[in-house]
A and B are shown apart, each in its own frame.
Chain A
């Protein structure tokens, strides 16, 4: 289903012409699918028909892109201090559970006003993409309930508030409900930790696609004692260098994840000289080091793991037992030494070799293309 959806989005204009219906050839910015589940809006025109978004009130998945324009004009048209009782019933009637807002310059009062309004809805997942948040947030209204989302995803969002953005945003959410936080392509991940409240329910923190983060940056993001419930830490393409360095970061931050994903980083097998051996948190039982360009099994891995993924690296030889920790499920496919063995052993080497190489290559392609959510979704559908 997912590839079909991304195809639809990319070929939207073409499809309309091909559909050959009796509808007027005018392009509507918004499109609701046949099952009334998904509604996607892309306001590209200089003077778009905003009312087209009315169709999305029945949709469960809503995506709204504003074509990169400034939304300053809406600030005058909406009353941010309006009594919520007037619109509570209207908002409650919206069926949206997953919302994506993207491609705009939005004033902070408008963004947080939206969060306040949506607090009465059934929204569970919010994704903000390609946004530039300008200005200062509005004062928090008394007695307002926060937006009860369980998943928050940010990709390429820049904040006027700099490092204080998370603390600001948190006040408009219900931190006790947030389970998954994704921050990708952030320009600054140095958070003002003393202002951040704790996330008592956050189990998954995904900082992928922040090439400039690095192990030092990791410590800046993982505010101490604020991520006490963290179980899954995903650091794909996050500028990590060595597993040992990441371990040190985890220990400094005091987080104890169960699973750590360091794939798609350019990892080095040997730690920096002078870095002490790090004791991994005992809770860690799954480590993903695939697509890391490792030529050998890195040093300083935890002693015992349930899952260790070293697939699609550049291992030239089979790892020795003393190099590896005690692992329940070890994955080594896609490494050069295995390909060499496979081509030696199998008759139709032509089929298997390109197949495996293709699997590793396709994933590389996906990571390389950034900023196209649809394709990424499609790949995730595959993977």
Chain B
């Protein structure tokens, strides 16, 4: 899996800070937990970004009066202050119970350059440039994380402390020797000013930059050409001693028409463990909302005709071949083709139990005879019950799953052509699935991972994309007919895509989590 590259932590940070208002009493579909380990990693990685941001801070001009005994009064002005560089050595980002986050930067150094002007006794004007090295800067700011009704996060700085250990001022220009006399005063003045300014700047930045930015974050993202996911926050992120939990709604809906979902997300309980950096918990709610969308959009209907059967197959979709199931069909409809139309009776819902996923779709298939006058005459109806389950295994850098397709059970609902041997139909369908369908489907991603061709790069950047692929299915002959899925995490340009890779580069521990209704896994870079 390798090291989590740069964009991901910022994505994580961004994800963390995208809070949304809570619908009181409703459970989230997706919970992300970041521990103090994860936060410190994020802080480290984010230092570079922070440094760039801090460099953009513009220090205001400041001036003041001074009085030198026996010489007179004057006033000084420091202007065109320019931060040349920051040195951030250590930063600590910690969850603050009942608040949010606490960010402390310690032992930082700033290098400021600027120009100074001094007017004294109304006739003496001096100016020059100066160089300030500020050392031992410590900033501690407490951020309160909340959520608002639109599902977006809010952040406010509740308290800020700063401390500067030492300031070294180097003045150059006319009568610098004079100012050297006031070195200490200048330095301590600088120190006091900077100390107060830092917190002012931070608080202002949070209020006028960070918070408005958070307001612009989207709460929905596109998954593929018609699916969107609503990941607005259900409530304010919950901070405890070593963990920060962010509760996302996780509802998948159709891009064009969103309808209320009649499903209730189950309670998600993450294990107490906080030895890893990040934990994700996803409940069956997310998958089931997707299933509902697919079902309503008609993607779960299918139609099979004789031309779909490979030409070398001895069995065809004709009344002749179907004599095996319904002996009289060829006498009633000699030498005609059949068409099977089927679909699920209701959206199949995923059930999650410790270490195991299962789904039991109920399918109804109707058989039609294609009469010579192009009329489709229904001749039989079957109910097919499938029981597909998967057991997930987590090892080193891969999630592997063993898919058990289960046996299809066929029930005859109606036959207009006499006796129908539904057990033989069931046996045949099972045989057909295992030997023809599963090998064909091997390697096909189920969701997404293919961007819509018409979307330009610019449009994509505007609409944040979350490419989510379900791991592909590989048929591996074993002691029973099982398939194995492989997936690993890849990250490229801010997208998280689960895709098959033959090898993982560096091992990084993935821990399995089991809960009664949720799938959870963790990640930490090496």
Interface residues of A (CB under 8 A from B): 23-24, 32, 36, 39, 51-52, 54-58, 85-95
Identify 5 new A-B residue pairs, CB closer than 8 A, beyond the known A93-B421, A93-B425, A93-B427.
A54-B324, A56-B327, A58-B421, A93-B423, A93-B424
Nearest CB to that of B325 among chain A residues? A57
Q: Is B452 an interface residue (CB 8 A)?
A: no
In the complex, chain B residues whose CB is within 8 Å of the CB of A56: 327
A89 touches B325 (CB 8 A): no
Q: Is B241 an interface residue (CB 8 A)?
A: no
In the complex, chain A residues whose CB is within 8 Å of the CB of B435: 86
Q: Name the distance in Å between B24's Cβ and chain A's nearest Cβ.
A: 52
B407 touches A58 (CB 8 A): no
In the complex, chain B residues whose CB is within 8 Å of the CB of A54: 320-321, 323-324, 327
- Contacts of B301-332 to chain A: CB distance below 8 A: 320-321, 323-325, 327-328, 330-331
Main secondary structure of the interface of B (DSSP, over half): helix
Interface centre among B324, B328, B407, B434 (most CB of A within 10 A): B324
> 19 A–B contact pairs at CB < 8 A?
A23-B334, A24-B334, A51-B320, A51-B321, A52-B323, A54-B323, A55-B330, A57-B324, A57-B325, A57-B421, A58-B327, A58-B421, A86-B431, A87-B427, A87-B431, A90-B431, A92-B427, A93-B423, A93-B424
In the complex, chain A residues whose CB is within 8 Å of the CB of B407: 89
A58 touches B426 (CB 8 A): no
Please measure, in the bound complex, the distance between the C-alpha atom of A85 and the C-alpha atom of B482, giving whole angstroms. 13
Given known A24-B334, A54-B324, contact A94–B419 (CB-CB < 8 A): no
Please measure, in the bound complex, the distance between the C-alpha atom of A375 and the C-alpha atom of B324, giving whole angstroms. 30
Given known A36-B418, A58-B419, A86-B435, contact A93–B426 (CB-CB < 8 A): yes
Q: Is B40 an interface residue (CB 8 A)?
A: no
Q: Is B428 an interface residue (CB 8 A)?
A: yes
Please measure, in the bound complex, the distance between the C-alpha atom of A56 and the C-alpha atom of B320, giving whole angstroms. 13
Nearest CB to that of B322 among chain A residues? A54
Q: Is B156 an interface residue (CB 8 A)?
A: no
Given known A85-B481, A86-B431, contact A55–B424 (CB-CB < 8 A): no
Given known A89-B426, A93-B427, contact A55–B327 (CB-CB < 8 A): yes
Please measure, in the bound complex, the distance between the C-alpha atom of A107 and the C-alpha atom of B320, giving whole angstroms. 29
In the complex, chain A residues whose CB is within 8 Å of the CB of B331: 23
Interface size class of B (residues with CB under 8 A): 20 to 34
A90 touches B428 (CB 8 A): yes
Q: Name the distance in Å between B304's Cβ and chain A's nearest Cβ.
A: 19
Q: Name the distance in Å between B477's Cβ and chain A's nearest Cβ.
A: 9
Interface centre among B321, B327, B334, B418 (most CB of A within 10 A): B327
In the complex, chain B residues whose CB is within 8 Å of the CB of A94: 424
B320 touches A57 (CB 8 A): no
A55 touches B427 (CB 8 A): no
Please measure, in the bound complex, the distance between the C-alpha atom of A92 and the C-alpha atom of B423, giving whole angstroms. 8
Q: Name the distance in Å between B196's Cβ and chain A's nearest Cβ.
A: 79
Q: Is B430 an interface residue (CB 8 A)?
A: yes
Could you mark each residue 83-110 of chain B with 1 if its beta carbon is under 8 Å from any beta carbon of chain A, else 0? 0000000000000000000000000000
In the complex, chain B residues whose CB is within 8 Å of the CB of A92: 423, 427
Please measure, in the bound complex, the distance between the C-alpha atom of A24 and the C-alpha atom of B330, giving whole angstroms. 11
B321 touches A89 (CB 8 A): no
Please measure, in the bound complex, the distance between the C-alpha atom of A85 and the C-alpha atom of B431, giving whole angstroms. 9
In the complex, chain A residues whose CB is within 8 Å of the CB of B325: 57
Please measure, in the bound complex, the distance between the C-alpha atom of A183 and the C-alpha atom of B263, giving whole angstroms. 68
In the complex, chain A residues whose CB is within 8 Å of the CB of B426: 89, 93
Nearest CB to that of B427 among chain A residues? A89
Q: Name the distance in Å between A216's Cβ and chain B's nearest Cβ.
A: 49
Please measure, in the bound complex, the distance between the C-alpha atom of A182 and the C-alpha atom of B328, giving whole angstroms. 35
In the complex, chain B residues whose CB is within 8 Å of the CB of A91: 427
B323 touches A55 (CB 8 A): yes
Interface centre among A56, A58, A87, A91 (most CB of B within 10 A): A58
Q: Name the distance in Å between B406's Cβ and chain A's nearest Cβ.
A: 12
Please measure, in the bound complex, the distance between the C-alpha atom of A93 and the C-alpha atom of B425, giving whole angstroms. 8
Please measure, in the bound complex, the distance between the C-alpha atom of A159 and the C-alpha atom of B238, giving whole angstroms. 83
Q: Name the distance in Å between A189's Cβ and chain B's nearest Cβ.
A: 39
Given known A86-B435, A90-B427, A94-B424, contact A51–B323 (CB-CB < 8 A): yes
Please measure, in the bound complex, the distance between the C-alpha atom of A85 and the C-alpha atom of B480, giving whole angstroms. 9
In the complex, chain B residues whose CB is within 8 Å of the CB of A93: 421, 423-427
Could you mark each residue 325-365 of chain B with 1 if its beta carbon is under 8 Å from any beta carbon of chain A, else 0? 10110110010000000000000000000000000000000
Could you mark each residue 428-439 of chain B with 1 if its beta carbon is under 8 Å from any beta carbon of chain A, else 0? 101100110000
A89 touches B430 (CB 8 A): yes
Please measure, in the bound complex, the distance between the C-alpha atom of A24 and the C-alpha atom of B331, giving whole angstroms. 9
A32 touches B431 (CB 8 A): no
Please measure, in the bound complex, the distance between the C-alpha atom of A86 and the C-alpha atom of B436, giving whole angstroms. 12
Give 9 closest A-B pairs by Cβ, nearest first: A89-B427, A93-B423, A93-B424, A55-B327, A54-B324, A90-B427, A54-B323, A36-B419, A93-B427
Interface centre among B421, B426, B435 (most CB of A within 10 A): B421
In the complex, chain B residues whose CB is within 8 Å of the CB of A55: 323-324, 327, 330
Please measure, in the bound complex, the distance between the C-alpha atom of A92 and the C-alpha atom of B425, giving whole angstroms. 11
Please measure, in the bound complex, the distance between the C-alpha atom of A55 and the C-alpha atom of B321, giving whole angstroms. 9
A90 touches B323 (CB 8 A): no
In the complex, chain A residues whose CB is within 8 Å of the CB of B427: 87-93
Nearest CB to that of A95 among chain B residues? B421
Please measure, in the bound complex, the distance between the C-alpha atom of A24 and the C-alpha atom of B419, giving whole angstroms. 22
In the complex, chain B residues whose CB is within 8 Å of the CB of A88: 427
Please measure, in the bound complex, the distance between the C-alpha atom of A58 and the C-alpha atom of B430, giving whole angstroms. 19
Please measure, in the bound complex, the distance between the C-alpha atom of A57 and the C-alpha atom of B320, giving whole angstroms. 14
Given known A51-B321, A90-B431, A93-B426, contact A32–B334 (CB-CB < 8 A): no
Please measure, in the bound complex, the distance between the C-alpha atom of A8 and the C-alpha atom of B425, giving whole angstroms. 30
In the complex, chain A residues whose CB is within 8 Å of the CB of B421: 57-58, 93, 95
Q: Name the distance in Å between A219's Cβ and chain B's nearest Cβ.
A: 47
Please measure, in the bound complex, the distance between the C-alpha atom of A51 and the C-alpha atom of B320, giving whole angstroms. 8
A89 touches B431 (CB 8 A): yes
Nearest CB to that of B320 among chain A residues? A51
In the complex, chain A residues whose CB is within 8 Å of the CB of B428: 90
Q: Name the distance in Å between B217's Cβ and chain A's nearest Cβ.
A: 53
Nearest CB to that of A88 among chain B residues? B427
Q: Name the distance in Å between B50's Cβ and chain A's nearest Cβ.
A: 61
In the complex, chain B residues whose CB is within 8 Å of the CB of A32: 327-328
